[in-house]
Structure 1
Amino acid sequence: MSYNIQTGIETRFYHHYLTRGWRHVLPHDSRAGNLERIGEIVRGFDIVGLQEIDAGSLRSGFVNQTGFLAEAAGFPYWHFQTNRRIGRIARHSNGVLSRFRPLEVRAHKLPGMIPGRGALILRFGGPGESLDVVLLHLALGRRARLRQLAYIAELVNRNRHTIVMGDLNCLSDSPELQLLCGHTDLREPLHDLPTYPSWRPRRNIDHILVSSSLKVRSAEVLDYPLSDHLPITMEVVLPPEIVLVG
């Protein structure tokens, strides 16, 4: 699963960006309850990639939201990457929840004129064959996204079994995804899965891409409008030589 949770802010209409925008910098009582509901959604999955998550600052009540969701949903392993700090007010981060123990966790800063975007890469399996899971939250500008995905393509090509997921801020037929798939073995099994905005989804800017070595049983968007994005999910069958350790 990949889910942009907007730091636990429930958004159901465009005007909420104005009326609830202050919640991006200040704490609010409803945030914890919404995170609990998100925890119920992610509980049924093995690996969850989270974007727009706070790592513990004023706006989140100094709670690391990745850890909060791991505890709420019963995930034994969780990792986060903070990409932008605004003093004590905000710690913009990516986070991963997992039921399997990763062999390795690497955090990469992505290129761009405006800093604050990153990739979190977790490697699962054994000393032989392994699976890389790459979590991304890309820039708003196309030029920056092209640079970022060119950088990611080099990293992806180091392992033939890879899953890339996240809020990529671009559509399936965009030049950015064409670049990524053209320079790697990645593919997007289904293209018409809109996730944004959550109350009337029209744009498929959240994606899960897989290497050709991985079999996809299903992919869908879940209708749980607890953020301004909907979660996207995929069931993947791994080759028998990849053994995940719980």
Structure 2
Amino acid sequence: KNITSIKRTTVSTPITKLIAYGDNSNTIAAANDGKIYIVDDEANRKYNPDWQSGLYYEGVITANSIEHAAGLKSWAEQMLQLFNHPRTYYEVNVTPTFNPPLGATIRFKDDQITPALDASGRVIQRTISFANPYGNTVGFGEYVTVPVATPAWLTGYQSAISSAIEKARADASSVKPVALTPDGNNFTDLSQTKRLILQAWEGSTNISAYIDSKGFIWRRYNQNGTVDTSYTNTG
């Protein structure tokens, strides 16, 4: 009654094997017969064409606040239920009188198409046009917050970057400029051009990407040692 058109999009690949890490990279092994993962064989048989080869769709989640293996396993089992199937998004063009609130769970059905549509979803987006009310759309789907897993080496690198930047802000004299000359530094051939790359280091950490381009001041010198005032500082 309210649908004028509908578009269905599958937005993700399901996960059928989930590895969970907790506080200090603890695993669920102590509460899971020595295995650091849990699986959903039923979902794997349903969605994975290679299931007979023993293959799974794998994913990793991290909960830094969970210390004990049993609690981590329980949380992982709940999370797997969110990820063990393809999440589908429906963009539905609706009649002007149909205006459900955000967050509402609505069932939508169409027996006239093949295959028949019979689904339900939460309203996660609305587009309303007062100029053209026949162009109103409603977006339905599963609203899932995906926990992001950060590898330990990347966490360490981010920590080193943050520390180096704070030190540089506190005392700019601690920043060491490093000039790289990938094309060599022999300037005897006047027809050649050379690249000169300037980096900023705080201790053993390269913080160049975190400095505004205006922080790199370049000058070009004439052969007699005077500054070439026609050169524009590009940062």
User: Does the alignment reach a TM-score above 0.5?
Assistant: no
Normalized against structure 2, the TM-score is what?
0.21
Normalized against structure 1, the TM-score is what?
0.20
Bigger-Rg structure (1/2): 2
Greater relative contact order structure (CA < 8 Å, 6+ sep): 1
Bigger strand share: 1
